[in-house]
A and B are shown apart, each in its own frame.
Chain A
Amino acid sequence: QGASVAFGGLKHDASQPVEITADELTVDQATGSAVFTGNVVAGQGEMRLSAGRVQVQYATENGQATGRIDQLVATGNVTLVNGAEAAEAEKAVYSVGGSQIVMTGNVILTQGINALSGEKLTVDLTSGSGRMEGRVRTIFQTGGNK
């Protein structure tokens, strides 16, 4: 079953520049595939995606790899922070063009004091909505009237 959540209500502009910082970048000159390793942080506008390893996949037009980035595949304790929300998972695929992030592998989403965990979280950055699937468990802090 699944639950839809608001994620980073503010509108995220997918055309902003993406800045990737890391300790190391390895580029295979034959295939052109680029891999950032060592506390990688990919940021775009308000959103920050940090991970141990990020692989850049370029959009290919008729087999030729163009300069445009199609997807960032982040692995290794991935955390995604966007405004007040933070999400952690084992793996995240951020398709820059479609401005959508799919996080898989015991995802934990914290919004303020509420927490939500599941197997897969799909976040649409432009509409600011997210969908959590797979053994969704929520923890509400009920306190506050002490």
Chain B
Amino acid sequence: MARVDNRYSRFVQWAKIIFPLVALGLLSTMFLFSRNLDPSDAIPFAEIDVEKIAREQQLTAPRFSGTTSDGSAIVVDAERAVPDLTDLRRLTISKVVARIESISGPSYGIIANSAVYDGTVNTLDLEGDVRLSTSTGYKLETNKLVANLVATEITAPNTVTGRAPAGVLQAGSMALTTDGTTQVLVFKNGVKLVYDPKE
């Protein structure tokens, strides 16, 4: 290789040696310093008690729907349903939302903490902070409500408090029955309605 005297050419000569070496070094780090793989967190799996689920037959987020004798549609949604071991047609369901929509009349929404669905007599006994709201403007609360899923019939044996279209309402018991085509809401054993004209 001819002798060179000026600085630039010497610099180029050295660069021709150093640069490839540096490139080689960079390239090799791709393989030498790989991340250490942790075999244990390969697949994240849910921590549900598998034995409990296997032992207890359980439906999660069940939905029942059907129509009653006068044609109104009933849809019952819940968070969990556990069949009663003694009688398989009885289901204990929790966090219940039931909707009854009749063709001509108003629609009803019922929310309750828990309920027992009985397939043989086709009733739904709702308990625990039951709230009934009707599209005609009634918002009622009681602690027990029995909904008959064959005929559109709702009965609340205990005291019912809440709001009626006219004002605050309180009654000893309540029943929704269908006589003929019209649905009649009857409040019994002591009713008190407070209407405030200023409202």
Contact = CB atoms under 8 A, between A and B. Distances in A.
A58 B196 CA distance: 13
Contacts of B184: 26-29
B192 A24 contact: no
B158 interface: no
A30 B179 CA distance: 12
Interface residues of B, number: 33
A7 interface: no
A27 B165 CA distance: 11
| Chain B interface SS verdict (over half) | strand
Contact of B197 (A17, A21, A34): A17
Interface residues of A, number: 29
Interface in A21-40: 21-32, 34, 36
B191 A32 contact: no
B159 interface: no
A136 interface: no
A14 B193 contact: no
Contacts of B185: 26-27, 29
Interface in B148-199: 164-167, 169, 171, 176, 181-199
Residue of B104, B194, B199 contacting most chain A CB atoms (<10 Å): B194
Given A20-B193, A25-B193, A32-B136, A69 B105 contact: no
A24 B173 CA distance: 9
A141 interface: no
B62 interface: no
A77 B167 CA distance: 26
Nearest to A14: B197
